[in-house]
Amino acid sequence: MSTEKTFYLETFGCQMNAHDSEKVIGTLQQEGYRQVETELEAGLILYNTCSIRDKAEQKVFNRLNDYKKLHKAGKRFGVLGCVAQQEGEKIFDRAPYVSLVSGSASYRKLPEMLSRLESGESRITGLDDRQTDETFETEFTARQNPFRGYITIIEGCDKFCSYCVVPYTRGKERSRGSSSVLAEARRIADQGYTEIQLLGQNVNSYRDPEGKSSFAELLDAVGRIDGIRRVRFTTSHPRDFTRDIVQAIDANPALCDHVHLPVQSGSSRVLKMMAREYTRDWYLERISWIKAAKRPISLSTDIIVGFPGETAEDFIETMDLLQEVQYDCVFGFKYSARPNTPALTMIDSIPEGEKGSRLQVLLDRQREIQRTNYSKQIGQSLEVMVENQNPARGQIAGRSSQNKPVNFTNPQPIAPAPGSYVKVKITGAFPNSLVGEAV
């Protein structure tokens, strides 16, 4: 009988979760586990969960229910991440075959929890309250992306937007020391990566515990590491977006000319109800800094429609904001109530049909804005980082510094490898991507 320790890990949700999974995988491998491709092959089945979207918990429990029969075959189950932190020991009640429940702030205890699991314990929890000061740093990160290295520089959130569950599932804001961040960035560069993305729930809320670097200074320092050609960061909060971030992008060509700055609503009245801590004018002032940069910086955002109390006039203000800012990408969502959030006490009187209608109007208008914006790049030559190939269409897929998808043909007999850089002349445009040919 084989005594090999195997695991399967499925990740739900955001890029922070995806990078957390890289660290979890690295830790498991360090503890002697081998990652496998399916639940059927695994002795330990883990789900790294997200609680941001509507019905996130139900999706997790549905997945657990689909595979509960595997428990009879001796397999163990663990629920990690935000749903684990949010639901806690209630998960054991709803899914008794689960043996491990751990929030992200407790991943540092994984080796100990795995040891307890191996010794036969059946109800192991790793749950932290909001006040934890711990961050999850590990040298054993198993990077799954072959061309982009991710680094978490700040965990948690102190903003308490009225609709958002993250402050309750991720804990308070706690930043890593700049020395630690830069050391990891150098390791990534030594491994051959040329692009780094800095991560945080509010990445620009970074406060160096060593007192050495502001966020903008850290961004610049990462971009000056030998071998690094591109640096990205996500997600920024407008309340902590400072002018020196734009100045750093202008001064350092390695910093990508793209900023994701979630606005959520174009109405100051709705922003106040959302507890976003800024007004429409405050947000637009930051947009003006970005638009005044020496090189064109692409803008993307998040918008919620149908927030409790949002009137037709409030929605028109959001539509007007779209027209004024001219985003290159908008992630639009209908409001849905999340557990433990203040918005739960607000009267959600907007019918689902109306929310859906507003969202469609917004997305249709944004599609036209993007159609116009993207077409302006026809005739330009852009540096594209190769991500993958699409042999069926005879194209190579990549991304520009502005984070725009580019699909291009390559006249050379050998296709460029993922992670390489190719000069591409843009010959066509769609609302969500550019088309071109390698120069």
Helix, strand, or coil (residue 423): strand
Alpha-carbon torsion angle 266, 268, 270, 275, nearest 10 = 120
User: What burial class does residue 41 get, using C-beta atoms within 10 Å of its C-beta: 0-12 exposed, 13-18 middle, 19+ buried?
Assistant: middle
Tens digit of each residue's pLDDT (9 = 90 or more) over 337-378: 988 899 999 998 899 999 999 999 999 999 999 999 999 999
Is residue 89 a part of any domain in this protein? Answer: yes
Residue 349: which CATH number?
3.30.750.200
The residue with greater pLDDT, 17 or 432, is: 432
Last residue of a domain, one of 241, 256, 271: 256
For tokens 């639940």, name the residue: 39
Residues 251 and 299 in one domain: no
Helix, strand, or coil (residue 126): strand
> Residue 260: left (phi > 0), alpha (psi -120 to 50), or beta?
beta
Is residue 401 a part of any domain in this protein? Answer: yes
CA distance 275 to 15: 24
Last residue of a domain, one of 64, 93, 126: 126
Q: Is residue 434 pLDDT above 50, yes or no?
A: yes
CA distance 60 to 46: 11
Residues 369 and 386 in one domain: no
For tokens 């970005």, name the residue: 290
Cα 4 → chain centroid: 33
The domain tally of the chain equals: 4
Paired tokens of 277: 């801590």
Residues 9 and 122 in one domain: yes
Last residue of a domain, one of 323, 340, 374: 374
Residues 305 and 220 in one domain: no
246-253 average pLDDT score:
98
Q: What domain range is 168 assigned to?
A: 145-256
CA distance 257 to 175: 24
Which range is least confidently modeled, 29-43, 101-115, 214-228? 101-115
Paired tokens of 218: 């850290």
The residue with greater pLDDT, 196 or 15, is: 196
Percent of the chain with pLDDT over 70: 97
SS (H, E, C) 156-175: CCCCCCCCCCHHHHHCCCEE
Q: Is residue 127 pLDDT above 90, yes or no?
A: no
CA distance 327 to 362: 12
Residues 397 and 412 in one domain: yes
Kindly list the distances between the CA atom of residue 345 and the CA atoms of 293, 318, 339, 400, in Å, as whole numbers in the listed order. Answer: 42, 24, 11, 43
CA distance 153 to 142: 17
12-25 average pLDDT score:
88
Residue 193: which CATH number?
3.30.750.210
Angle at 205 between CA 321 and CA 327, to 5 degrees: 25
pLDDT-based confidence at residue 2 (cuts at 50, 70, 90): low
Q: Is residue 263 pLDDT above 60, yes or no?
A: yes
Paired tokens of 189: 């560069």
Q: Over the chain, what is the mean pLDDT?
A: 93
Residues 388 and 369 in one domain: no
CA distance 208 to 192: 27
Residues 345 and 419 in one domain: no
Which has the closest alpha carbon to 240: 326, 322, 180, 173? 173
Contact 297, 336 (CB under 8 A): no
Amino acid 139: pLDDT: 67
Cα dihedral sign for 96, 98, 104, 108? positive
Amino acid 432: pLDDT: 96
pLDDT-based confidence at residue 1 (cuts at 50, 70, 90): very low
Contact 350, 380 (CB under 8 A): no
Residue 233 has, within 13 A of its CA and on its CB side, a CA count of: 27
Residue 398: which CATH number?
2.40.50.140
The residue with greater pLDDT, 3 or 153, is: 153
Amino acid 136: pLDDT: 67
Which has the closest alpha carbon to 331: 304, 369, 356, 302? 302
Is residue 196 a part of any domain in this protein? Answer: yes
189-205 average pLDDT score:
96
pTM: 0.90
Residues 250 and 202 in one domain: yes
Residues 366 and 385 in one domain: no
Percent of the chain with pLDDT over 90: 76
User: What burial class does residue 428 get, using C-beta atoms within 10 Å of its C-beta: 0-12 exposed, 13-18 middle, 19+ buried?
Assistant: middle
Give Dmax over CA atoms of the chain in angstroms. Answer: 68
Tens digit of each residue's pLDDT (9 = 90 or more) over 52-70: 776 777 888 888 888 888 8
Kindly list the distances between the CA atom of residue 301 and the CA atoms of 263, 278, 387, in Å, as whole numbers in the listed order. Answer: 6, 15, 23
Which has the closest alpha carbon to 334: 309, 314, 360, 313? 360
Alpha-carbon torsion angle 190, 196, 202, 204, nearest 10 = 90
Tens digit of each residue's pLDDT (9 = 90 or more) over 71-96: 878 899 999 988 898 888 999 999 99
Which range is least confidently modeled, 99-113, 151-165, 176-190, 354-368? 99-113
Tens digit of each residue's pLDDT (9 = 90 or more) over 279-319: 999 999 999 999 999 999 999 999 999 999 999 999 999 99
Helix, strand, or coil (residue 221): helix
The residue with greater pLDDT, 16 or 229, is: 229
195-215 average pLDDT score:
96
CA distance 26 to 136: 12
What type of residue is 104?
A: S
What type of residue is 2?
A: S
